[in-house]
Amino acid sequence: MSSFILSKDVLLKDSAIYIHIPFCDHKCIYCDFYSIITSDNVEAFQKSLKKEIEYFSKLYSEDRIFTSIFFGGGTPSLMEPFYLEEIICHLKKFSNVDDKAEITMETNPGTVDKLKLKRFKEAGINRISIGIQSFDKEELEFLTRIHDKQTAIQTVYNAAEVGFENISVDLIFNLPNQTKEKWIENLETAIQLPIKHISTYSLILERGTILNKLVLDKKVTMQDDDYDADLYETTIDFLTSKGFYQYEVSNFTKPGFECVHNNAYWRYRDYLSFGTSSHSFVDGKRWWNYSSLKKYISAIELNNHAIMNSEIISKEQMHDEYVMLALRSSGLDLNEYKTLFSEEWINKSYVYLKMLQKENLIELIHQILSLHQRGTQFVMKS
């Protein structure tokens, strides 16, 4: 399913690498990603991570080239720059990492100053994804973020001033009591900054989060789906009118700054993931690691990997995932689709697809089947 590129006269699979750094300064009420609020085992985790990288590199590196590395978490920017630099060097030593690979680090305002950002850049990070979520004081307090508006703004400027050209910010909409005017103020503030990419996410309830318990206890009331859809439509209209184009359901970019790593997911490319709770997808097989840091470290010590479970993707499942991911991003290339699968689904779905086209939910241009704005809203809700 991966694309291929030419390197040293050998065709290599274009693949991605994800690194999950579990350490965090505190747990935000909406977050369901695995993270721990402790500095214990920081060095032990890196040692285990290196062993895991070596193990899988021997299995999967010969026939592929890695065009992106993404440090997520947790809060990777809590680490010292040399900590991530060691990991990057280890990846390059044991894997075929492209010289021009996109290397992203998720960053929270309040965890980095200008000097630390400069050192991260020197360590090899070339793309920064800043989890701002909101510029509004009340919203930040509700989300239990550790930063304020000015810290968020200064973090973006600091990143630009030390030489980061590829800067992305994350924002969350449809917070309880959030007005359309307040959301537009967030967007207005963001586009005034030296950024190239914006990810906008609707606030959703995830099991096990503090927010979910607050809602169940009726201490917080979420806004309804219609209002959520209205804010989403407002987001699309606003950002596209300001020079950003939507290349995925939740992502907007200036031309040429699409996230290489996330495109690997949406275009159904292979990816190797390392660290606690991480998921990998290679050659039609998916596996995922233990979440517990202590269990992860002990499993690596015993087996050189920390796989908790795995599955082989069936042809039917592969087809459905491929179509879904294509439609939620840049569109389904029918020519590519026909080389990977038979035309049975297209022929069987012809009447239904024509109906969707008539209702302005999808469009077909130059053999690319893509969602209209109304169709994108449907995907968001589902």
116-125, 175-184, 369-378, range with the lowest pLDDT: 369-378
Note the pTM of the prediction, 2 decimals. 0.92
In whole angstroms, give the CA distance from residue 269 to residue 71. 18
Give the rounded distance of the alpha carbon of 320 from its chain centre.
Answer: 21
Question: Looking at residues 146-170, what average pLDDT do you find?
Answer: 97
Question: In this predicted model, which residue has the larger pLDDT, 3 or 227?
Answer: 227
Per-residue confidence (pLDDT) for residue 375, from 0 to 100: 53
Q: Are strands 97-107 and 64-73 parallel, antiparallel or unpaired?
A: parallel
In whole angstroms, give the CA distance from residue 87 to residue 190. 31
- pLDDT band for 6, please (50, 70, 90 cuts): very low
144-158, 225-239, 339-353, range with the lowest pLDDT: 339-353
- pLDDT band for 29, please (50, 70, 90 cuts): confident
Compute the radius of gyration of the chain from its Cα atoms. 21
Length of the chain: 382
Per-residue confidence (pLDDT) for residue 116, from 0 to 100: 98
- Please name which of 217, 210, 276 lies closest in space to residue 49, comparing C-alpha atoms: 276
Question: In this predicted model, which residue has the larger pLDDT, 209 or 100?
Answer: 100
User: Is pLDDT of 100 > 70?
Assistant: yes
Residue 122 CB neighbour total at 10 angstroms? 13
DSSP 51-86: HHHHHHHHHHSTTEEEEEEEEEES-GGGS-HHHHHH
SS3 146: coil
User: Is pLDDT of 354 > 60?
Assistant: yes
In whole angstroms, give the CA distance from residue 371 to residue 331. 7
- Please name which of 191, 183, 87 lies closest in space to residue 134, comparing C-alpha atoms: 183
Query: 127 and 197 in contact (C-beta within 8 Å)?
Result: no
